Amino acid sequence: MPKCSFCGEQIERGTGKMFVYVSGKIDYFCTNKCEKNLFKLKHKPLQTKWTAKYREEHARMGSSGNSDAKIAKNVQAVPEA
C-alpha cells in the first residue's frame, strides 16, 4: 500500500487519489485535506505540525544538541574543600 505524499500515512486500499505529473512523478493523497494543503495552499509537509515528516524532523532536532545544553546549564560546579 502506498503512503500519502503529504502526511505520510498509509492509504487504505480503494481510497485516496493518485496524481501524476507531466514529468512522470507520482504523488498519492489519502484525503482531500492533504491534496489541498500541497497544491492549493502550497504548504510544506515539514512545516505542517500534523504530518509524520514534521514529527520526524523535529524529534531529531530536539534530541540532538538542545537537550545537552539544558543539562549543562543546570549543573553547578561543586567547590572543593
Q: pLDDT tens, 6-38? A: 999 999 999 999 999 999 999 999 999 999 999
Pairing state between β 26-29 and 17-20: antiparallel
pTM exceeds cut of 0.85? no
The CATH superfamily label for domain 1-65 reads Ribosomal protein L24 (2.30.170.20)
pLDDT at 80: 72
Summarised one tens digit per residue, pLDDT across range 48-73 is 999 998 999 988 877 655 544 454 55
| CB contact at 8 A, 6 and 45 | yes
C-alpha cell at 59: 524529534
Q: Is 29 helix (H, G, I), strand (E, B) or coil?
A: strand
> First CA to last CA across the chain, in angstroms?
66
pLDDT at 74: 57
pLDDT at 67: 47
